[in-house]
């Protein structure tokens, strides 16, 4: 791995400058308004756009610290502010033989500035593929220079000999005369110069020192070339993980519709809306107007793509005006049972079409708005055995589809998977239904309508025969589970021409890629010894800067920003080194293989095996990283890395994306700014404090058990460094870091370096009664639940907290863990040491058995509290702790976790404005489970006092089981 020297840290910022990277399209003036609101407009001196960033200069260093600590809000999006550090300059070092180590070159350069990157050798630039690996006598490094540029030479002693080294920031120049207009080969001063005179006339290029002096390091052995490969290569290992999307949604609206026919020969219809975005409402109305010219059957459901079954001449009579029929098979001239229709206004490109089983199984692969779809239309036979065979064929065909496409499966399945919800009687086709259920599970498919209506009974087929009504939900859409977040609505609609109903499904086609909206530290750097050594030097230098700041808390906050900058620079150049290593290994393997074909040399075979093993180990590390991020922990039926595995990560990330939201009026939007606004309104209301009933509060807090005096004193003692160190060791690895990007692994690895500083920061926070800004702010990650994912209530908010917040919380949780059993009843096992939910389950089973054997009347009441953690009132929590007898100092530490607490929602590739958290306990905090057990215990105590319980004659007490 590359070596990085950074013995001295850069200043807090370069001339009081800061760097903001807002979303694309944001004006510089908007950024300045946000900066002015934070520090005062009069404190801004100048600003400019530099690439994607906006650089702002302010009057004082204190303003820099405030902006870095608090960030800014532009157009409803939170923007992280970084200090503007001195720009790095590329320094080219020439005339360096390969045997001179980087450390000796760095010693000569250190007087001119500070190092910002690893030093790397530059390739010679040969065009011949077999010579690509040959390196030149030039090296390159990025530095923080004391002067704008350098053009120097210095001597390096190596093994008793002196070598003249040249370093400059400009163009390559002649080694003999120093002119940039030509190279050494064409130098006029070189003509006629040879032997001893060459050393005298070579001017600044001569390299003789003492009797052991040598000529300029092999000056004529290699022809120096212009460097076309010195540019920074694209990173192979990125210092921040990619997670959630930044592409702009496309405009327009497309819809796809399907028509189906019943098992009884009636025409029926299904449809799929493909909603691209909200920006094309006018176009949508025009499309609808065109389609309304069709007959009543068609105008009832104004969509873009349909499938019809058993329709024959009905196609031309009813839909011929609005749809392309003859472009798709089956042949409309023949009797058909399945067809796919696209409305003429839809820009669709049919890639392939296949009638797998005539009249029963149709597949059309099409491209709509740059999205590839695989439409599958199924019309299951009436005969059970034939139905099972068709389902198996369907499974095999879908399994063979390796391309990344949206698979939409719809049709008349002629059986139901859960007759208790999907039929008005028992399922008559149990065997084929079981076969279909197995296929659905293997393919990881989701029943779209049932997913949105988990307990609703509604049928797509109803038939009345001899006063007997038969009803079932035979017609269903299935999609892959990772596409559930693209569904924006589904419904069953009655129609006038069939005993089967129409099923409508809407999709959003907004484009979104999985990327992180803030920096994450790359934990692979912790395995790099050079990085660990360089970080130690960096932090020692940063410790000397404490006097520049108002407080140690601000010094710590700005220091974490510099850790980010330091890590990113190192990671970027490490990636370049890795990429060069990969290229070199590949070239070496090819060259060795060519030599092996003409020379049966054992040493060549050993070298070939060695290089192959080295290359394999690097690729294995890349595969492991992709598998971990995609949540696949093992390689099962594969023995080599393939695109399939590298594609797992984005697929898993895609299913967690929020692609569209529905407002209170039912309007669906996929615009990131509108979605963030809807989310901010929703969670601002959820986390707003509510007025509670004082009488109820007093009643619930009566007659509660009180903590013993010894335990109370134990909780009140000062926090020790040893306690904090134990909490750090106990932190779980592999968790997402908070806003500062530093995970638990970072603190574990560098605790001996930064631990004492963090402990002093924690002590300062406790004495001042407020945490640092980064600890107050949580990033709210929304995870999909069941139901309509266009509704925010069906997303679970998880607070991603800074690791230093978790350390403090873990210290309090460890203390509380030893005394919680004293205040929480034995019925309650949640987050109480040495208790298990299995004990409660066994007791419930025993009660059921007793009631059954004794024929006793018994009732079991289950209550599900919506948003239970999010609705915990902070004042009631603190009052409950006081009622249980917890001490004032311990309660003040709990309050510290919620003082000025805010959260920012991660959505649409960015962060929302900070939302004040006036109630709720954070899911993701080590202390949250214990806090919930405490806050719900007064209610359970009240229930235990009021309930009679189950009376058992052989026992002196009744069983009253109240658990949460």
Pick from 824, 843, 844: nearest CA to 832: 824
| Coil/strand/helix, residue 193 | coil
User: 303-312, 426-435, 765-774, 877-886 — which is least confidently predicted?
Assistant: 303-312
Pick from 796, 752, 754, 799: nearest CA to 775: 799
**Rounded Cα gap, residues 193 and 177, in angstroms:** 13
**Rounded Cα gap, residues 815 and 237, in angstroms:** 40
Q: What is the mean predicted confidence (pLDDT) over 559-587?
A: 78
- What is the band of 760 on the pLDDT scale with cuts at 50, 70, 90? very high
Q: Say which residues have a Cβ less than 8 Å from residue 57's Cβ, sequence separation at least 6.
A: 15, 16, 17, 18, 44, 45, 46, 47, 84
What token pair was written down for 442?
């293997």
Q: How far is CA 244 from CA 81, 511, 516, 651, 914, in A?
A: 20, 11, 6, 11, 19
Buried-state track 871-897, b at ≥16 Cβ within 10 A, e below 16: ebbbebbbbbbebbbbbeebbebbebb
With 70 as the cut, is the pLDDT of residue 265 above it?
A: no
Please state the CATH superfamily assignment of the domain spanning residues 254-508 in this structure: Endonuclease/exonuclease/phosphatase (3.60.10.10)
> Which residue matches tokens 């638990």?
744
CB 279 within 8 A of CB 513: no
- What is the band of 874 on the pLDDT scale with cuts at 50, 70, 90? very high
> Which residue matches tokens 């192979």?
236
With 70 as the cut, is the pLDDT of residue 244 above it?
A: no
> Which residue matches tokens 């095999």?
396
Q: Say which residues have a Cβ less than 8 Å from residue 636's Cβ, sequence separation at least 6.
A: none
407 membership: H or E segment, kind and range? strand 406-412
Report pLDDT digits (tens) over 444-503: 888 988 888 888 888 888 888 877 888 899 999 998 877 777 887 788 887 766 778 888
| Coil/strand/helix, residue 668 | strand
CB 659 within 8 A of CB 485: yes
Q: What is the mean predicted confidence (pLDDT) over 113-139?
A: 82
Cis peptide before 330 (omega within 30 of 0): yes
**Rounded Cα gap, residues 886 and 711, in angstroms:** 9
With 70 as the cut, is the pLDDT of residue 643 above it?
A: no
With 80 as the cut, is the pLDDT of residue 124 above it?
A: yes
pLDDT top residue among 412 and 282: 412
pLDDT top residue among 951 and 836: 836
With 50 as the cut, is the pLDDT of residue 297 above it?
A: no
Q: Residue 14: its pLDDT value, please?
A: 59
**Rounded Cα gap, residues 201 and 206, in angstroms:** 8
Q: Which of 792-796, 801-805, 865-869, 958-962 is most confident? A: 801-805
Pick from 799, 755, 743: nearest CA to 522: 743
What token pair was written down for 506?
């809407």
What token pair was written down for 390?
């068709």
With 50 as the cut, is the pLDDT of residue 189 above it?
A: yes
Report pLDDT digits (tens) over 311-363: 444 444 444 444 554 444 445 444 455 667 777 777 788 888 888 888 888 88
Burial of 303 (0-12, 13-18, 19+ CB in 10 A): buried
Q: Residue 641: its pLDDT value, please?
A: 44
pLDDT > 70: percent of the chain: 73
CB 2 within 8 A of CB 525: no
DSSP string, 721-763: HHHHHHHHHHSPSSPPP-TT---HHHHHHTHHHHHHHHHHHHH
| Coil/strand/helix, residue 197 | helix
Pick from 412, 477, 478, 473: nearest CA to 445: 478
With 90 as the cut, is the pLDDT of residue 276 above it?
A: no
The 10 Å Cβ neighbour count of residue 109 is: 22
Report pLDDT digits (tens) over 784-802: 888 788 889 888 888 999 9
CB 365 within 8 A of CB 397: no
pLDDT > 90: percent of the chain: 19
With 50 as the cut, is the pLDDT of residue 208 above it?
A: no
What token pair was written down for 939?
């209610």
Q: What angle is formed at CA 115 by the lines to CA 749 and CA 523, rounded to 5 degrees? A: 25
Burial of 674 (0-12, 13-18, 19+ CB in 10 A): middle
Q: Residue 247: its pLDDT value, please?
A: 33
User: 362-366, 579-583, 670-674, 742-746 — which is least confidently predicted?
Assistant: 579-583
Task: Specify the domain boundaries for CATH 3.60.10.10 within the chain.
Answer: 254-508
Report pLDDT digits (tens) over 609-631: 888 887 777 666 655 554 444 44
Q: Which of 274-283, 424-433, 882-891 is most confident? A: 882-891
Q: Residue 943: its pLDDT value, please?
A: 85
Size (the chain), residues? 964
DSSP β-bridge partners for residue 463: 470
Q: Residue 355: its pLDDT value, please?
A: 85
Mean pLDDT of the chain: 75
Q: What are phi and psi of 286, to 5 degrees?
A: -65, -45
> Which residue matches tokens 């040493």?
603
């Amino acid at each position: 791995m590359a070596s990085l020297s950074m013995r001295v840290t850069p200043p807090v910022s370069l001339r009081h400058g800061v760097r903001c990277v807002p979303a694309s399209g944001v004006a510089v003036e908007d950024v300045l308004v946000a900066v002015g609101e934070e520090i005062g407009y009069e404190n801004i001196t100048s600003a400019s756009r530099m690439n994607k960033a906006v650089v702002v200069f302010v009057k004082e260093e204190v303003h820099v610290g405030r902006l870095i600590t608090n960030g800014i809000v532009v157009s409803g999006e939170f923007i992280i502010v970084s200090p503007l550090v001195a720009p790095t300059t590329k320094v080219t070092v020439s005339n360096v033989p390969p045997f001179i180590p980087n450390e000796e070159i760095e010693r000569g350069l250190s007087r001119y500035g500070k190092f910002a990157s690893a030093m790397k050798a530059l390739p010679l630039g040969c065009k011949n593929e077999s010579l690509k690996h040959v390196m030149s006598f030039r090296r390159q490094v990025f530095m923080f220079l004391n002067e704008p540029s350098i053009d120097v030479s210095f001597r390096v002693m190596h093994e008793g000999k002196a070598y003249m080294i040249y370093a400059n920031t400009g163009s390559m120049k002649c080694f003999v005369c120093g002119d940039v207009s030509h190279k050494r080969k064409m130098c006029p001063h070189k003509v006629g110069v040879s032997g001893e005179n060459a050393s005298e006339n070579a001017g600044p290029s001569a390299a003789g020192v003492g009797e052991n002096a040598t000529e300029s390091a092999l000056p004529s052995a290699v022809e120096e070339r212009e460097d076309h490969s010195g540019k920074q290569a694209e990173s192979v290992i990125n210092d921040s993980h990619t997670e959630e999307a930044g592409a702009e949604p496309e405009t327009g609206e497309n819809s796809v519709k399907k028509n189906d026919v019943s098992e009884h020969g009636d025409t029926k219809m299904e449809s799929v809306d493909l909603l691209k975005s909200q920006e094309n409402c006018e176009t949508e109305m025009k499309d609808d107007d065109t389609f309304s010219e069709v007959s009543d059957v068609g105008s009832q459901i104004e969509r873009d793509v349909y499938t019809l079954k058993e329709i024959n001449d009905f196609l031309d009579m009813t839909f011929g005006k609005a749809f392309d029929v003859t472009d798709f098979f089956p042949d409309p001239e023949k009797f058909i049972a399945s067809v796919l229709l696209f409305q003429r206004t839809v820009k669709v490109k049919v890639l392939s079409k296949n009638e797998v089983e005539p009249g029963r199984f149709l597949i059309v692969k099409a491209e709509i708005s740059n999205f590839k779809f695989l439409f599958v239309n199924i019309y299951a036979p009436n005969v059970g055995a034939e139905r099972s065979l068709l389902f198996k064929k369907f499974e095999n065909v879908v399994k063979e589809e390796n391309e990344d496409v949206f698979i939409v499966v719809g049709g008349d399945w002629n059986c139901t998977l859960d007759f208790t919800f999907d039929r008005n009687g028992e399922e008559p086709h149990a065997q084929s239904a079981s076969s279909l259920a197995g296929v659905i599970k293997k393919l990881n498919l989701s029943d779209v309508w049932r997913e949105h209506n988990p307990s609703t009974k509604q049928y797509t087929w109803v038939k009345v025969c001899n006063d007997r009504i038969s009803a079932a939900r035979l017609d269903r859409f299935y999609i892959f589970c990772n596409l559930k977040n693209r569904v924006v609505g589904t419904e069953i609609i009655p129609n006038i021409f069939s005993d089967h109903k129409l099923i409508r499904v809407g999709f959003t086609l907004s484009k979104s890629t999985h990327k992180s909206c803030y920096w994450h530290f790359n934990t692979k750097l912790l395995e790099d010894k050079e990085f660990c050594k360089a970080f130690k030097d960096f932090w020692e230098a940063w410790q000397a800067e404490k006097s520049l700041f108002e407080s140690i808390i601000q010094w710590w906050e700005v220091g974490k920003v510099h850790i980010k900058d330091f890590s990113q620079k190192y990671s970027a150049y490490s990636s370049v080194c890795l990429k060069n290593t990969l290229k070199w290994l590949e070239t070496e393997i090819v060259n060795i293989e060519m030599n092996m074909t003409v020379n049966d040399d054992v040493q060549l075979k050993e070298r070939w095996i060695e290089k192959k093993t080295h290359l394999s180990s690097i690729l294995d590390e890349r595969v492991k990283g992709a598998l971990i991020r995609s949540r696949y922990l093992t390689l099962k039926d594969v023995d080599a890395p393939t695109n399939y595995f590298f594609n797992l990560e984005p697929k898993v990330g895609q299913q967690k994306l929020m692609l569209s939201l529905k407002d209170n009026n039912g309007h669906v939007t996929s615009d990131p700014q509108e979605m963030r606004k809807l989310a901010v309104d929703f969670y601002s209301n959820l986390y707003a404090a509510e007025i509670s009933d004082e009488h109820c509060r007093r009643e619930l807090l009566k007659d509660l058990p009180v903590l013993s005096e010894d335990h109370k004193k134990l909780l009140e003692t000062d926090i020790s460094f040893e306690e904090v160190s134990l909490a750090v060791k106990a932190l779980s690895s592999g968790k997402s870091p908070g806003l500062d990007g530093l995970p638990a692994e970072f603190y574990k690895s560098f605790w001996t370096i930064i631990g004492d500083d963090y402990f002093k920061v924690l002590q300062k926070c406790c004495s001042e009664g407020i945490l640092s800004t980064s600890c107050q702010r949580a990033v709210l990650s929304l995870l999909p639940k069941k139901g309509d994912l266009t509704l925010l209530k069906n997303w679970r908010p998880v607070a991603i907290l800074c690791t230093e917040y978790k350390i403090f919380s873990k210290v309090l949780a460890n203390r509380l863990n030893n005394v919680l059993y004293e205040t929480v009843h034995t019925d309650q096992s949640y987050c109480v040491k040495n208790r298990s939910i299995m004990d409660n389950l066994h007791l419930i089973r025993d009660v059921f058995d007793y009631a059954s054997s004794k024929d006793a009347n018994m009732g079991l009441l289950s209550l599900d509290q919506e948003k239970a953690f999010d609705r915990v009132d902070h004042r009631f929590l603190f009052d409950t702790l006081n009622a249980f007898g917890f001490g004032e100092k311990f309660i003040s530490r709990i309050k510290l976790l919620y003082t000025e607490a805010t959260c920012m929602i991660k959505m649409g590739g960015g962060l929302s404005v900070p939302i004040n958290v006036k109630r709720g306990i954070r899911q993701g905090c080590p202390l949250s489970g214990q806090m919930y057990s405490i806050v719900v215990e007064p209610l359970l105590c009240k229930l235990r006092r009021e309930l009679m319980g189950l009376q058992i004659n052989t026992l002196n007490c009744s069983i009253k089981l109240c658990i949460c």
